Structure 1
Amino acid sequence: MKLLKHLLFVTLLAPTATEAQVLNPMDFKFYIDAFNQHDNELYRQAIPNSEAWAFIQENIPFFECPDKQLEQTYYFRWWTYRKHIKHTPDGYIITEFLPEVPWAGKYNSISCPAAHHFYEGRWLRNAQYLRDYAKFWFSGGGSPRLYSFWAADAIHAFTKVHPDGEFLAHMLPLLETNFREWENSHLDTNGLFWQSDNRDGMEVSISGIQSNNMEGYRATINSYMYGDAKALSEIASRLGKQAISERFATKAFQLKSKLLNLLWDEEAAFFKVIPRGSSALEKTDVRELHGYTPWYFSIPENRHSIAWAQLMDRAGFWAPYGPTTAEQRHPDFKVAYDGHECQWNGPSWPFATSITLKAMANLLHGYQQQVVNKRDYLEVLLTYARSHQRIDEDGNTISWIDENLNPYTGDWIARTRLKNWSEGSWSAGKGGVERGKDYNHSSFCDLVISGLIGLCAEESDTLVIDPLLPNDTWDYFCLDYIPYRGKSLTLLYDRTGMKYGKGKGFRVFVNGILRSEADQLQKLTIEL
């Protein structure tokens, strides 16, 4: 599909506010040029590299900060996200892998990372991509329950940025049916949902090996289903369907109670897995990174915050190239270059890192605790940003995102193994050449926008900005040309007032008009 059609969508569906921009988009074009220059474009979809800059210029919020590695990774992740926009006879979808993989569904779709796709893509000006994608999953031939997928929550998050009552009215009965089908297939009489670690997208986990048939009552699936129940309640309330809203509010409350009472290990101070079939509901003996998932949906209480001490602990999850998927002190922790290429018993995974950072942002935004702070959030985010690289065959350090990382060396483990899998080369049965290149299985830009800079999307026209950047860290930043509820936002900080010429301190502009200001970075609330 030609770029003209993409730009037509932007013109029709997004506000035009180029006059409100503080940043000059051309100042960042060199990033896209460099990504294109170093790219072997093996698999083209709707928007090829030749049209990448035009897409970027029309669609993304522009970002500038003093940390140029973070800034580069921000543009890199938009550049790779664009590669995964695929036009199909059923509209647009977002893919996980660029090459066709045997385990995918219709049009090479996979539901495992789809919620990340919605959270990330909601900041694009063209909302049609995700409207189509949502409809595809539930009425276009998608397989939304092939893997765990917090669909209602993610779609609701998208509509907080791009409100659309007609779209939500269309989606509500489909999302209700989806929830009911999960209950029919994965809800046991103890009130908890179960999932296999494989269908959670977390193969060969330590807790999975300790469970019967790799099946367990996991904080992941139970948090996802809580998030969906809560979202369905809020969507129904917005549409004036109070009976539906109350029914799902009750489901959310009951599931929250079960999760907190049964999956929290008081001695280990962590959420753990209970193997399915355990009559005594005994938990496995390992802390795993996915135990932070409940905070992604703001489920825990303040008392549970002690669990976050493990994130920065070098015997827990802390590692130089990203948090490990299992605590390093456990005897079964390992970073393996044999067996399955995608193991979750030690390697760092961008999927899990994304969830952890979103959960951590919710902790810092909404809880009273002293275990971790804003500086810790920035450190984990910068570590994640700097993991996005590899050294190519010519010795150049290039931007890169793939599947799983060696947390100590930064090597992309699955790539290292797969490139010599079959007679010294790539295996078609494993997805073919460079299966994991530009892997779209996580988020990043959303973690900058809603986490670090603190744009907290709301159901109403109340705009809340709660930055997680420590006040003494940067002299400036600007996040510009942000689509939000039919308006264009600019958030900037300028310690001296000389960088942007808009005055000293923290500034919020709506459609180019200054709406709020403060001398320091702090929480601001504005009625749009």
Structure 2
Amino acid sequence: MERDICSFLKRSDKWYIGGGKKLIWTPPFPSFLHHPGLWDNAGYYDFRVDPGFTYDILNAGVSYEWRQTKREWTPACWTCAYECDDLILKEEKALSQGDFLGIKVTLTNRTEKELTLQTVLWTAQKRNEDETLEDTQLIRRRADHIVYKKRLVKGVRKPVTAYAGLILQNGRSANVSFSENTGNLPNWRLTPFYEKLSPDGLLNEESTDGISLNGLLYMGIEAPLTLLPGQTKSFLCGMAMGSSAEVVEQTLHDSMAQDIVVESKTNWENYFRSVPDFSCSEPKLEKYYWYRWYGLRLFTIDVEDGKMHYPAVAEGLEYFRVFITYSAQCHMLETRWMKEDAIAKGSLKNFIENQRSDGSFAGHIYLNGVQENGFYHADWGRALQEAQAIHPDVEYLKGVYEGLKRYAAFFDEVRDRENSGLYDVVDQFETGQEFMSRYQAVDEMADRYGWINNIRLKGVDATVYIYNLKKALARIADKIGKVEEVARWTTGAEKIREAVLNKMWDEEDGMFYDVNPRDFTRTKIKAAVCFYPYMTDIVSEKHLAGMKTHLLNKNEFWTPYPVPATAVGDAYFDPWAQWKGKRHNCPWNGRVWPMTNSHIADALGISARRFSDKELRTKTVEFIKKFVGMMFYEGDIERPNCFEHYNPFNGKASVYRGVDDYQHSWVVDLYFRYMIGLTVGETQIEVDPFPFDCAYEAKGVLIGGKRWDFSWDGKHYAISVDGTVIHQDARLHRTVFDK
């Protein structure tokens, strides 16, 4: 029997509404969750649309005051219940794939008298004469809908023109009124409609101009509603956004003919069917598997619009709802397990199609441009290789090879002018890991600079990433028939390996360190990135003692909630998100970041597997369980989360940031790599489950076009391919199969 994943993830404390393409409703600091409607800001790509909309139910022109009695959330629908003396109200709020943010409103007359009511759906959008500020212009007003144009602005980027519309089912009158600014709150008495509403409806007129164009543009739609004693009726209302007035208007009308709640549920169910089915006797591991897939879809942007050419996952809400290089590598590792590989492919292709002339990738891809001065290091080679192992596609490799060649050349020519085999980090932001001792070690002012390339540090992370890239390019060159280029990449990778071992490895300390390029001395700063070489074949068995000494040391990294991005003993270490006495948004001087933890999980697991180390196998399992367990509010099984960073001693999240469901790490991939035990090569599939001490079942794992199923109930182990059992045993152990 197919499980209902939406119901499995049901909870009462969440409010995010997703499932569309361009539009989303994820206000980070909402003020009006208790109020009917969706007044807190929506998002159009990374732009704020503030406010959203609300509606009032009126009797003789007086708006009812509501008491909220219940909230219930699933990925597909946010349900709110209210009551007043006369009525019971239920809202079911959902977002369609066509970018209609709608509410199915159900009203029940709890009195013994007939109620003659009116509904007014309305919003108040900003108008500004200044062309650098947000503006709203009316396009057209009809009895049941209003379409308007928005000028959306963000920072120094060029404004974006978007179109939006409101619709109320059975609407009979509409009014647009321009007003000077006042409190922009979902308060009926603050609106012009408070005075302009009569029993016959709103004044069917529009006023959009005045002696100045600064103010609020109120737009309202009215519909009559009669309820007999005990009677229940429903109606739809909502807003749509898109790139043209015609698209928005069509979306509004199409949505009125649909059950948006059923449609949203169907869309989310179809999505959950597009990933491998998974169940597990460890409740938090099972819950988080599905919660992670929810988060990935929540921030998926599947459009061909502006600079966004291919489907990919945005890093998070608002500022982060763009394509970002640092997190794209994570999305490739996770979405490779989907039945379709469009997102895994698009995550890289977007950056190649927006590649800079010097070969580097922009840090952020926006709807209307790319970040001019930003850059992030990323492990493209490893992510691409792992994705291709599941969904091989030689034509795709041909399409990305030249772009990756230019990217590698950028690092050789610009980031290693000494020809040392080690690569430069030139500001604290481009590693994605700002405010930590790594950068202070080469420049005491490093924490004061912006994206201005003002420091130089030979970074362990940057260097490991290029090592993996050159190894991947060697394999790709061989696959696509450029055999004459294989040796170049192989030689380049070997040069990096030797440089890491000779210049970054400290034999006495048993630690890899960043290097100061001024004199090529090791910085001696203990950071989590120092363990990144353990994800590769750079290390040998002789390096394991150092890993165990430092990574597994509770006085350095193995805190109750491991691992802090900077070692506990560091001069700048702070578990409270404080940098030099002040709480920061994104400090890496002692917080546990899921991004770092994903790397560390692989450093442990890959080393455990390479060197058949039982202690590291056990520690890998312990670490993954602690990692996943940390991402639940106060350990509550019903309330998983994923914030930017956490406290290493009490596990509390950076709730103050307002950024939940942050897609800045990989988690699902760890399940398949270590619990299921999959290492997928070019010709073979190794299945080597780690000792998680729980029963599990994973079905529909698509590898190279074949469906694999895995099950372990504690006594019986079975592996099937395309419905045929190919392996059974009474114990878990390593097996190898031809691909």
- Fold conserved between structures, TM > 0.5: yes
Map residues 324-335 of structure 1 onto 2, 5 A cutoff. 324-335=564-575
Q: What pairs with 1:45-124 in structure 2 (closer than 5 Å)?
A: 45-46=20-21, 49-50=75-76, 51=264, 53-89=268-304, 90-101=309-320, 108-124=322-338
Q: CA deviation at 1:229?
A: 0.3
Larger helix percent = 1
The structural deviation recorded for 1:27 is: 6.0
Stretch moving more, 398-407 or 316-325: 316-325
Kindly state the Cα deviation for residue 43 of structure 1 after the two structures are TM-superposed. Answer: 6.2
Query: Residue deviations 1:187-231, cap 9 Å, x none?
Result: 131231011432111101112111234531121011000000001
CA distances 1:469-528 after superposition (whole Å, capped 9, x unpaired): 26xx23x211111111101111111334xxxxxxx2x22111111112333111111124
Cα distance, 1:44 vs structure 2: 5.8
> Following the alignment from structure 1 to structure 2, what is the Cα–Cα distance between the partners of residues 269 and 316?
14
Superposed, 1:347-426 pairs within 5 Å as: 347-369=591-613, 372-390=615-633, 398-413=639-654, 415-416=655-656, 418=657
Tell me the residue number matched to 2:433.
202
1:160/1:485 contact within 8 Å kept: yes
Q: State percent identity of aligned pairs.
A: 20
Q: 3-state DSSP class of the match of 1:480? A: strand
Contact 1:453 1:466 in 2 (8 A): yes
Deviations 1:439-473 (A, max 9, x none): 0100101001112221112122x221111126xx2
Given that residues 230 and 248 in structure 1 are in contact (C-alpha distance below 8 angstroms), is that contact kept between their aligned partners in structure 2?
A: yes
Q: Distance in 2 between matches of 1:447 and 1:148?
A: 21
> How far is the alpha carbon of 1:45 from its aligned partner?
4.3
Question: Hey, what does 2:423 align to over in structure 1?
Answer: 193
8 Å CA contact 1:508–1:515 kept in 2: the answer is yes
Return the alpha-carbon distance in structure 2 between the equivalents of residues 176 and 86 of structure 1: 27
Instruction: Go from structure 1 to structure 2 and tell me whether the alpha carbon gap of 1:198 and 1:495 turns closer, same or farther (over 3 Å shift).
Output: same
Which protein has the larger Cα radius of gyration, Structure 1 or Structure 2? 2
Task: Name the Cα RMSD after superposition.
Answer: 2.3
Deviates more, 1:66-75 or 1:515-524: 515-524
Is residue 690 of structure 2 the alignment partner of residue 468 of structure 1? yes
Q: Which moved more, 1:53-62 or 1:69-78?
A: 53-62
CA displacement at 1:28 relative to structure 2: 4.5
Distance in 2 separating the partners of 1:469 and 1:302: 22
1:120 and 1:445 in contact (8 A); partners too? yes
- SS across alignment from 2:522: coil
Q: Partner of 1:276 in structure 2? A: 517
Matched, 1:244 2:485: yes
**Mapping of residues 370-519 of structure 1, within 5 Å:** 372-390=615-633, 398-413=639-654, 415-416=655-656, 418=657, 434=658, 436-460=659-683, 462-469=684-691, 473-474=693-694, 476-496=695-715, 504=716, 506-519=717-730
Q: 2:709 is paired with a residue of what secondary structure?
A: strand
> What amino acid is the match of 2:681?
E
Which residue does the alignment assign to 2:98? none
The answer to whether the 8 Å contact 1:322/1:387 transfers is no
Contact 2:460 2:514 in 1 (8 A): yes
For residues 350 and 74 of structure 1, the distance between their equivalents in structure 2, rounded to whole angstroms, comes to: 15
Distance 1:174 1:331, change over 3 A: closer
- Looking at structure 2, the residues matched to 100 and 198 of structure 1 have their Cα atoms a distance apart, in angstroms, of 15
Aligned to 1:322: 562
Distance in 1 between the 2:524 and 2:709 partners?
A: 47
Partner SS, residue 728 of structure 2: strand
Q: Alignment partner of 1:203: what SS? A: coil
Question: What is the SS of the residue equivalent to 1:398?
Answer: coil
Instruction: Determine whether 1:149 maps to 2:378.
Output: yes
Q: More deviation in 69-78 or 325-334?
A: 325-334
- Aligned residue for 1:146, secondary structure, equals coil
CA contact (8 A) 1:81 1:440 kept: yes
Cα 1:437/1:457, change in 2 over 3 Å:
same
Asked whether the equivalents of residues 117 and 443 of structure 1 are also in contact (C-alpha less than 8 Å), the reply is: yes
- Aligned letter for 1:177? R
- Corresponding residue SS for 2:639: strand
Please identify which structure carries the higher strand content.
2
Change (3 A) 1:487 1:43: closer
- Deviation per residue, 1:124-158 (Å, 9 max, x gap): 11212222332211014662681001223212211
Contact 2:21 2:303 in 1 (8 A): no
Q: Relative contact order, CA 8 A, sep 6+: which one is greater? A: 1
Separation of aligned partners in 2, 1:282 and 1:182: 21
SS of aligned partner of 1:517: strand
What CA deviation, in whole Å up to 9, does each residue of 1:147-182 have, x standing for no partner?
001223212211110111111111111211111122
Q: Relative to structure 1, is the Cα distance of residues 388 and 130 closer, same or farther in structure 2, using a 3 angstrom cutoff?
A: same
Contact 1:118 1:158 in 2 (8 A): yes
Conserved 8 A contact 1:43-1:99: no
What is the identity, as a one-letter code, of the residue corresponding to 2:606? N
Aligned-pair CA distance for 1:368: 4.8
2:3 is equivalent to residue 26 of structure 1: yes
Q: CA deviation at 1:391?
A: 5.6
CA deviations on 1:409-435 (whole Å, 9 max, x unpaired) are 22223x32x4xxxxxxxxxxxxxxx3x
What is the distance in 2 between the residues matched to 1:197 and 1:468?
36
- The separation in 2 between residues aligned to 1:480 and 1:397, in whole angstroms, is 24
Give distance in 2, aligned partners of 1:166 and 1:397: 44
Partner of 1:12: none
Q: Secondary structure at the match of 2:465?
A: helix
Matched residues in 2 for 1:46 and 1:459: separation?
Answer: 34
Query: What secondary structure, in the 3-state scheme, does the structure 1 residue paired with 2:566 have?
Result: coil
Structure 1 counterpart of 2:529, from 284, 290, 295: 290
Asked if 2 retains the 8 angstrom alpha-carbon contact of 1:477 and 1:494, the reply is: yes
Q: Is the 8 A contact 1:451 1:468 kept in 2?
A: yes
Q: How far apart in 2 are the matches of 1:164 and 1:408?
A: 45
In structure 2, distance between residues paired with 1:27 and 1:508: 25
1:327 partner letter: A
Change (3 A) 1:218 1:239: same
Pick closer, same or farther for the CA change 1:302–1:132 going to 2, 3 Å: same
Once the two structures are overlaid, the 10-residue window that deviates more, 340-349 or 207-216, is 207-216
Aligned structure 1 segments of 4 or more residues deviating by more than 6 angstroms: none
Partner of 2:346: 132
The answer to whether the Cα contact below 8 Å between 2:604 and 2:617 also exists between their aligned partners in 1 is: no
What code does the residue aligned with 1:288 have?
A
Amino acid of the structure 2 residue aligned with 1:220: D
Equivalent-residue separation in structure 2 for 1:494 and 1:396 (angstroms): 22
User: What runs of 5+ residues in structure 2 fail to find an aligned partner?
Assistant: 25-74, 77-263, 356-360, 364-373, 447-454
Letter in 1 for 2:422: L
Would the aligned equivalents of 2:646 and 2:652 in 1 still touch at CA under 8 Å? yes
Aligned residue number for residue 184 of structure 2: none
**Greater mean deviation of Cα atoms: 88-97 or 230-239:** 88-97
